[in-house]
A = this chain, B = another copy of it.
Amino acid sequence: MTADLPSTVHAESRDLVESVFQAVEGVAAAFPRARFLQRARERGNASELWQALVDAGLLAIGIPEERGGAGGGLTGNTAVMEALSRAGIPPLLYSLTSFSREAILKFGTEQQIQDHVLPTITGERKICFGVTEPEAGTNSFALRTIATPTPGGYRISGQKVFISGADEADHILLLARTAPPGERLSRTSGFGLFMVDLSLPGIHLNRLDIEWYAPENQFEVFFDEVEVPADALIGEDGMGFDYLLSSLNQERIVIAAWALGLGNYALEKAVSYAQVRAPFGTPIGANQAVQHPLALAKVEMEAARTMMYAGAAGYDSGTDAGHLANMAKLLGSRAALAAVEASIQTHGGSAFVYETDVITLWPMIRVLQIAPLNNESILNYISERMLGLPRS
């Protein structure tokens, strides 16, 4: 695995990205793709992979040096996710942990950073993330998990779904409605963001039977009158949704890295196969029907990658990176899907054999067209915010 960085990655980011890529080589050696697949198949977990990330110091990236981290910002997080994904070993939890830490770093107290962020560097603490509810889709109005103020803090009841790694995580960063029912709300007001200890009474997990290959499991998480202390609240009561929104650009860029890494992994397998598979004597890669879809996917991935690192650099420099982040997620997920599709078609029937490890890539890349935000919603965003068209 080489970084293979065209000049599409800005010069100022290149050294950082290169060094992350080198560090990830060690992680991939310790926890190779075959192990990743095996853990996924046995519905295991990502703890070995996580330990390898700790050992390589990669969990310190994205936390400012003055806060005890290794710096690197979102560009660093993006490089970590991309490199792991290019090696075929993207941990779902990484995206969530980096996202959660960002929210606490931006809106939490010094004590909350000490308690919740720093232990993630050493692997003592993992954080999962809870927003989605069964009936709500992307409509925040429809969220029903409620946190009612109590003398000592809040009492939380409700249900979340598609919670990745809830069995491995120690805490969940949870969005819950704090405004009393009946109060008139805007789309984003009336929410609190809580760091909830998953070992508290009243929390139950139900593992979902998910059809993709990831070592982490997915859960429904039920909250039945869970009592949390007052300092579980991150930032101000009522601002939780705004805090989320302010971190979405971060998430979209990391998602792009995830997709593009896997797309690259799929593409490289296809190229290797097309160079040697030769039932008619010449390698099948000499056929335009084989090579052109691979080439087009490659170009589209490079374009998305350029946008992704430009977005990360923009975010790190404090400019509004919303347009770039949304474009990177859209382009990245689409290009990665084109790559894995071309890879499947190149491999022919053998793509469907588990050991070939091609079809095994598809569901994860496919779901990134949909989660955490589907590409149609991004097209809505671009129509309204970039083009100035009316809301659909």
Count of chain A residues near B, Cβ 8 A: 87
B313 touches A7 (CB 8 A): yes
A294 touches B387 (CB 8 A): yes
The interface residues of chain B lying within 8 Å CB-to-CB of A388 are 271, 275
Bound form: Cα–Cα A392–B288 in Å: 6
Bound form: Cα–Cα A10–B359 in Å: 38
User: What is the total number of copies of this protein in its complex?
Assistant: 4
Bound form: Cα–Cα A290–B324 in Å: 22
Q: Mark A129-173, 1 if CB is under 8 A from B, else 0.
A: 000100111110010000000000000000000100000000000
Interface residues of A in 317-367 (CB under 8 A from B): 319, 321, 323-324, 327, 330-331, 344-345, 348-349, 351-355, 359-360, 362-363, 366-367
Contacting A349 at CB < 8 Å: which of B139, B313, B362, B370?
A: B370
A303 touches B279 (CB 8 A): no
Bound form: Cα–Cα A391–B283 in Å: 10
Q: Mark A363-382, 1 if CB is under 8 A from B, else 0.
A: 10011011100101001101
- Nearest CB in chain B to that of A272: its residue: B388
The interface residues of chain B lying within 8 Å CB-to-CB of A392 are 286-289, 291
B275 touches A389 (CB 8 A): yes
The interface residues of chain B lying within 8 Å CB-to-CB of A303 are 303-304, 306-307, 327, 331
B8 touches A306 (CB 8 A): yes
The interface residues of chain B lying within 8 Å CB-to-CB of A279 are 135-139, 142
B209 touches A376 (CB 8 A): no
A6 touches B299 (CB 8 A): no
- Nearest CB in chain B to that of A384: its residue: B291
Say whether, besides A310-B7, A386-B295, A352 and B391 are in contact (CB < 8 Å): no
22 pairs across A/B with beta carbons < 8 Å? A7-B319, A8-B310, A10-B10, A137-B277, A137-B348, A209-B354, A209-B355, A210-B352, A211-B353, A211-B360, A275-B389, A291-B380, A291-B392, A292-B383, A303-B306, A306-B306, A306-B307, A344-B366, A349-B370, A349-B371, A351-B370, A359-B366
